[in-house]
Structure 1
C-alpha cells in the first residue's frame, strides 16, 4: 500500500478504495463498449432498412415507368366510355414492416421516403374511389382517371428522388449524402441570389410578348 495513505486510511480501507476504482473503471469501459456495439448495430440496421426500401421503391418505380400512357392512348380513353381497370398492388409491405424503425434512417432520407409512401397510399385510396365512381358515372370516372395518371407521375418522380438519396447513402455513405445535399443547397441559394438581377429583364420580356400578342389580335 502507499505509505502516504497509511496515515489517513487503514490498509483495508485502501484496498476497498482501489477495488472500487477498478469496478468504476470497469463500468465505464463496459458502458463505452455497449454504446459502440449499439451504435454499430444501429448502423447495420439502418443500412439493411435502406437496402430493403431501395429495392421496394425501385421495383414500383419501374412498374410506374412501364405503365406510363402516351397521348394517343389517353385520347382514346377520353374519347370513349371505358374506364381502365387499375390493378391493386401492395407496394409498401417492406415500409410497413420497418416503419417503427424509420427514425434510424439518415435525416436527409426520412422526408423523401415518407413523402413517396404517402403518395402511394393516396394513389391506393384514389383508385378505390375511382372504381366506385365508375359504377355510377363513367364520364366522371374517366376524368378521375386522368387525375390518377397525374398522381402516378408525382409518385414516380418522388420515388426517383428517394432512390437517388438511398443509393447515395447505401453505396457512397452518409458523408457523401451530406456533401451532395450541401452542394444542392448552395446551388439553390445561388439561383435565388441571381433572381433580383434576372427577374426585371424576364418580366420585361414577358410584358413585350403580351403586348405583341394583344396588338396582333387587335389588328384587322
Structure 2
C-alpha cells in the first residue's frame, strides 16, 4: 500500500519528534519532583534539611529551569518540527544532527541543574544556570532552529498561515532575547538597577515570547484539524 505524503513526512520526523517528546516528559517528571520537595519544605522546613543540595532556594530554581528549558524547550522542538514539516509538506533534514543537538541541549540542562544544586548559579531570572552551560545550550538551539528553518524554506506550499507565523517567531525570538540579555548581564554588564530590569525583562519574555507563541501556533493548527474547518 502506497504511503500518502503526510505518512512519509511523519515517518521522517518520527525518531526526532519521539526523542524530544520523551525528553520533555522526563524533564516534566523532574520538575514535578523538585516542585514536590519545594512545597514539602514550605510546610516542614526540616524536610531533607541535612542535605545541602536540597535547600529551598536551590530546589525552586532547579524546578523552574527544568520546567522551562527541559520540558518547555523539548516540547517546542517537537511541536515546531512536526507542525512546520506538516505545513511545508517537506521531510525532515539532518535527523542525526537533530538528535545530536537535542542530546547536547539535554546534557547542558542536566549539568546546569547540577550546578544550581551545588550553589554555582547566577542571580539573573531564567539565566540562573552556570555561565559555562549557556554556550552549549545556545549552539544546540541554533542547530535545531536552523534545521527547522531549512524544512520551512523547502516547503512546497509557498503561502504561509498563522501556525507557521507563531511557531517560527517563537523559534527566532529566543536567541535574540538571549543575546540581548547575555550582553547586558555578562559580556558588557550594565550597572546598577539596569541589571535587575534586564533580568526580569528576559525572564518574562521567555514565557510570553517563547513559550506562549508555540501554544498559540499549536492551537491554530490542531483546532481547525479537529473541527474540519478554519477558525
Give the TM-score of the pair, scaled to structure 1. 0.41
Decide which structure has greater helix share. 1
Give the TM-score of the pair, scaled to structure 2. 0.39
Structure number with bigger Rg: 1
